[in-house]
Amino acid sequence: MTFSLGNEQEVQMRVILTQVYDALKEKGYNPINQIVGYLLSEDPTYITTHNNARSLIRKLDRDELLQALVKYYLNN
């Protein structure tokens, strides 16, 4: 299976992921651990409802987000 993401979609993912990260940090959570927990389990309770973060992250397709993260990691 191959994936193809448009640049606009990657920008939207970055914006949403940054907002979720900031909301988790504001609430005193370890944002990386919480986001990884969500990505592995798809359990939305890993993400706070603060600043609508839980609703925002559920707008993203988990497979596409993982693909973008791996692509970014390997390209940098």
The pLDDT of residue 72:
87
Token look-up 């973008």 returns 68
Cα–Cα distance for residue pair 44/75, rounded to 1 Å: 29
Can you give the pLDDT at residue 22? 98
Residue at token pair 């370890």: 30
**pLDDT reported for residue 48:** 97
Q: What is the pLDDT of residues 15-33, one digit of tens each?
A: 999 999 999 999 999 999 9
pLDDT in tens, 24-63: 999 999 999 999 999 999 999 999 999 999 999 999 999 9
Of 31, 58, 23, residue with least CA distance to 44: 58
Residue ranges of domains in the chain? 7-75
